[in-house]
Structure formats: C-alpha cells, structure tokens
Structure 1
Amino acid sequence: MAQIEKFKHFLRSKRYSESTVTTYSEALKSFLVFYREKPIAEIDNEDVIIYNNEYVLKNNLSASYQNQIVNAIKLFFQTIRETKILVDKIHRPKRAKVLPNVLSKEEIKSILEAHTNLKHKTMLSLIYSCGLRRSELLNLKPVDIDSKRGIVIIRQSKGKKDRIAPLSLKILKMLREYYISYKPKIWLFEGLIAGIKYDKRSLSNVLKQALTKSRINKPVSLHWLRHSFATHLLESGTDLRYIRELLGHSSSKTTEIYTHVSTKNIQQIKSPFDNL
C-alpha cells in the first residue's frame, strides 16, 4: 500500500525508531484496511469512533493497542492535505492504572545467582543494577562502560535520549571477568557470531531459565527487573527526582507510580485488626 510506505518514510524522517515505525505502520494498516472502500479524504472523526467500537473493542484489543492506533492515525493525517479528520479531536482511551510488578530483594538475588554461565549472569545483573530496558542492554558497547568515572552510558534510548547510570563495583568486577572470557568485538553482549548483537528473544529465555532454576512461579519479564530496581531505590531512601533521571523518564508522573508499590511506609502502618 503506497500510503503506508509514504507514512513509513515520514516517520523515519522524524527519526522514529524502527520498532515504532513497524508498530505504527501495522496499526495504521489495520485502520485503512477497515475503511478500504472509503476514500481517505472522506474519513472523519466519527469513523475513528466506529473503528474503535467495531474493531478494537469487538476483538478485545488492549487500551495500549488502541492508544497506538490513535498515535498512528494522528501522525498519518497530519501528512494528508485533503482530510475531514480533526486531529486534535481524536480522543484517547482511558488508561488503566496498573501497578508495576516488583520482586523482593530475595527473589532478585535468587534470579541473579541462578545461572552459572557468566554471560547470562552478567546480562541479568546489569539490567537490575542499572534499571535498564532490554533494548538498552543489547545496544551497549564496551566503550559505554566508563570504569574511571564509575558510570554506564546509555545512548539514544527511548525518546532519543542519552543518560548515565551508576556502575557498581560488584558489576564492574563481573564485567571485567566477562570481558576477559568473551572478548566482545562490537556490542558488549554478542551472540554466537562475533560482532552480531545478542538476540532479544534469547535474552528473554535466559530469564526464563533463571526463573525455573530459582523456582519462582511468577510471570516475570525482564522489565520486572527494571521496576524492582526503581522500587528498591525508593525503599532505600533515594529521591524520586534521581530515580526519574536514572530511568530516563520524561515525566515525573511516570516515576511517581513506584510510590504505590513501595512497602517502606506501608509496613509501618499498624492494622486496627491487631488491636481487636
């Protein structure tokens, strides 16, 4: 579809990541296919509402997916000259207030110590110790580990932002052992072929293996390690402003959600049940 290809070029010119280009293009494609009998210039805001009701809701698709649809439609119709769509009037779905999943320090310790394979252990440990996203870990290069300054440099992460994270001495020692053993060429963590970035699905499998070995029966994802990092920092007294910087959040509201899962103050509250 020519319109989809044109949209992809537009997104790339705006420097959106390839994963975002793919996500938005697929979302837009489903919308345009739904209205394949209708000229694009005739599509209006009411059609967006009908699509949400007749396709998104009927197929029990998530609010997150619906939000991606909205983003894609808004961006697409900004590039169309003749349109009946009022971009600013397209409404978003009400987001569910879901708390982040957090593991205890004991569970984290168990997961990180589950592997005897040094590469596997180092990857999981670095994600937790720096609060990294999966893509951020896999995009690291050896030069991003600045041992003299005691920092890890995370380059061009979500939102095209660079940031730094503290490099713990325990992780530095582990990384040095790893580097001597594996001697990565380009990426800090590479697959079986030198110079090729470690596969993201393989990394998820590394976590699954650790969960099996540590006998943790929870649907843990790699992002849980990042959530746990933030929550454990908060519980140890780290200011939310610093946690926001470490996580690379654009808005403080995103970081504030960790106050709802921190048990530090909750545990100090005595239940009235104890006085009965």
Structure 2
Amino acid sequence: MVVHIQEEDEDELVIKFEYSSERVKKVKKIAGKRWCPEERVWIIPYTEEAINKFFNLFSNEEIVVDKSLNIGNASDNILQSRSVKNLIEEMKEEIQLQGYSPKTIDVYLGHIKRFIKFHKKHPKKLKQKDVRKYLLVLLEQQKTSHSYANQALSAIKFLYKEVLQKEEVTFNLTRPKKEEKLPVVLSEQEVIKILDSIDNYKHRAILFLTYSAGLRVSEVVNLKADDIDSDRMLVRVKQGKGRKDRYTLLSEKALKVLREYAKRYSLDEWLFPGGKKGKHLTERSVQRVFKKACRKANIRKNVSIHSLRHSFATHLLENGVDLRYIQELLGHKSSKTTEIYTHVSNKNIGNIRSPLDDLV
C-alpha cells in the first residue's frame, strides 16, 4: 500500500500509511518522530536528515509525495532528466487541452511519475510487458485496490495514445475487474449525533451543508456565498466532478446554521475561507473536522467525510425519493452509479423477517 508524506507546517511533515507493525517499526527509527492520535498520523521534523532517513527506510514501498513538497530520493533521478520533464509537461498540456479537471490532472501525472520511477526508463523505451509487470506489482505486491490500478492504467493509456502516439503499447491490456464494494452508510440517528457534537459555528455549517445537500468535500470547500440561493432553496455546484454544473437541495435547517455562521464570521470570496487570505478551506481541514466530530459522537464505523454524501443518498431513497432525482442531485453521469444505494438501503430488506425469529 501507499505511504504518503506531506507538509504539516514549516517545521514538520506528516506521514500517513495503512497500519502494519513493520511500518511502525520503521517510522520509530526517525529521530524526532511523534504519533498524533487525533489524526492517526506520524509527524517527523522537516529536516534533510529526517527526510533522507524516511526515504531510506521506506525505499521498498510506493511513496506519494505531496505536490507542494520539493523533496525526493536518489531513485527520482530519472524524473529530473530533461526528456522526462518535457514529457510530463507535454502530457499536462494535453490533459488540460482536453478539459480534464485539475484534480484529474494531478492524479494522472502522479501515476505516470510513479510508473516512470518504477522502471527507471523513459516510457518510449518500454513495451506492453513492462506495463503489465507494473500493474501486477501494484495488485500483487503493493496490494493496491483494483480501482487504483485501473486509474493507473487509464493514465498510462492516455500517455501512450494521446502523447506518445504509441497506442499499441497498451492495446488490449486487460483491466482489473472492478471491485463491488458497498459504501459505508450512517444511520439518521448517527448523523444527528455527529451534527449535534459540533460547537464551532463554521464547522457546523460545513457538515450540515455537506450532508443536507449531498456534496463532495471538493464541492463544499469551493462554494461561494452567491452559490447559496435562499429564495429557491437551492445550492449551486459549479464545475463539480466531470466539470458539470448542477443544483442540489438547500435544507431549511442548513440555511439557519449558515446564517448563524455568517453573523459571526467575515466572509470574503469563499463561503468557507481558509487560513491564507484569498484561499478557501482545504479538503484535509474538513476531513479533520469530520473525524473529530465522529470521535466526539462515539461513532465506531470506519467512515469519512464522503460517508455523509452516501448517507444523504441512502436516506433519500429510504424516504421514497425516486432514484432518478437522486442521480440529478448527486451529479452522477450514469444511473448505474446511483443504483449502488439500492444495495445499502434498508427500505425493502428492513421489512423482511429472519426465519430465526419464527423458530425461537
């Protein structure tokens, strides 16, 4: 699995990974490290010594470095070559010209950099067997999800077809079968407990709006004050996933919380401004707010801020809202994406009586 490193502040770095005793042993060897139980991450000093130690300890794992950090190890040399830098820039321009979102651009370029770093060769010199080998390493050795490997393949296909004009390298490559995972959904009572646990007016407004409108975290942080249409009781989502505009619900209760928040905070361009002037709140900050609220509400489920969106859709379905309307509110391109909520809803299954109850 992936090990993430990103900036906490000017003096410290955040290390995140899925738990394993071996990884914990490694990170404990870094001088000045500390465990942050609230966010369940490791913190290390932002020093050359600590960074080099980190890369040496985790040299056999996939390391994802936040784009804001200008750090790396010796194996990154291939990425610093002029030909590869030019290729990455050419791919970035091609993705932008095709109208992909900034998030997709970052994801695709990240996959290509890891692909190049793995083989330590310019992609022009690689063949289909090299792509297959990389995908097998992702799935079998690094134990990444099938969706992650599929995303990596999509980025590699884009590179060879649209940039290098060598489509034959990835032609007929088999995609990993899509995993049929069901979203984790909160009950209505659990949502109430989470929302009631928050005292901070700004944090309350964020989570109330996220749940009541079924927003993605990227959408809620990018909202502006004029996106709240209190006359029509709608929230306008501009350039959501897939670069689509849409409208979704504005709850009366959420509007009341928003007004309480607006009385106490000086709003500028953004509905939820961040710490830096002219910038909106970061997605990571919202995720931290949600995690803190879950701990305070004693929620034991393994949920994320996106679970509020899943819960919004499921609760609408359980309350009799037509799936087509839910699809529109969520901004799903395909109805098949929305249909997953029929598998987690208790609307029908909740009325079925277990045979055990008739036996005992």
Q: TM-score range by the shorter chain?
A: over 0.9
Give deviations 1:220-251, integer Å, cap 9, x for gaps.
21000000000000000000000000000111
Q: Which residue of 2 is the match for residue 29 of structure 1?
A: 113
Amino acid at match of 1:199: T
Is 1:185–1:194's contact at 8 Å kept on the other side of the alignment? no
Deviation of 1:41 after TM superposition, in Å, equals 4.1
Distance 1:30 1:166 in 2: 40
Greater CA drift, 146-155 or 206-215: 206-215
Greater CA drift, 4-13 or 40-49: 40-49
After superposition, residues 33-112 of structure 1 pair within 5 angstroms as 33-37=117-121, 40-80=123-163, 83=166, 85=168, 87-112=170-195
Greater CA drift, 19-28 or 228-237: 19-28
Query: Which is bigger in relative contact order (C-alpha 8 A, separation at least 6)?
Result: 1
Distance change >3 Å, CA 125–CA 66, structure 1 → 2: same
Is 2:209–2:254's contact at 8 Å kept on the other side of the alignment? yes
Greater CA drift, 27-36 or 122-131: 27-36
**Which secondary structure does the structure 1 equivalent of 2:184 belong to?**
coil
Q: Which residue of 1 is the match for residue 60 of structure 2?
A: none
**Which secondary structure does the structure 2 equivalent of 1:5 belong to?**
helix
Selected match of 1:142 from 222, 225, 230: 225
Distance change >3 Å, CA 55–CA 178, structure 1 → 2: closer
Q: Which structure features the higher share of helix residues?
A: 1
2:100 is the counterpart of 1:12: no
Q: Which structure features the higher share of strand residues?
A: 2
Greater CA drift, 57-66 or 228-237: 57-66
Q: Which residue of 2 is the match for residue 3 of structure 1?
A: 87
List alignment gaps of at least 5 residues for structure 1.
none
Deviation of 1:81 after TM superposition, in Å, equals 5.1
Selected match of 1:185 from 260, 265, 268: 268
Identity of aligned residues (%): 46
Is 2:91–2:163's contact at 8 Å kept on the other side of the alignment? no
Q: Which residue of 2 is the match for residue 232 of structure 1?
A: 315
Distance change >3 Å, CA 237–CA 102, structure 1 → 2: same
**Which secondary structure does the structure 2 equivalent of 1:249 belong to?**
coil
Is 1:40–1:83's contact at 8 Å kept on the other side of the alignment? no
Q: Which residue of 2 is the match for residue 198 of structure 1?
A: 281
Amino acid at match of 1:149: R
Distance 1:89 1:173 in 2: 54
Is 2:195–2:208's contact at 8 Å kept on the other side of the alignment? yes
After superposition, residues 239-254 of structure 1 pair within 5 angstroms as 239-254=322-337
Is 1:131–1:226's contact at 8 Å kept on the other side of the alignment? yes
Between the two proteins, the alignment pairs up a number of residues equal to 275
Distance 2:130 2:235 in 1: 47
Is 1:45–1:89's contact at 8 Å kept on the other side of the alignment? no
Q: CA RMSD in A?
A: 1.7
Is 2:182–2:340's contact at 8 Å kept on the other side of the alignment? yes
- TM normalised by structure 1 equals 0.93
Q: Which residue of 2 is the match for residue 262 of structure 1?
A: 345
Distance change >3 Å, CA 32–CA 193, structure 1 → 2: closer
Deviation of 1:265 after TM superposition, in Å, equals 0.9
Deviation of 1:42 after TM superposition, in Å, equals 5.0
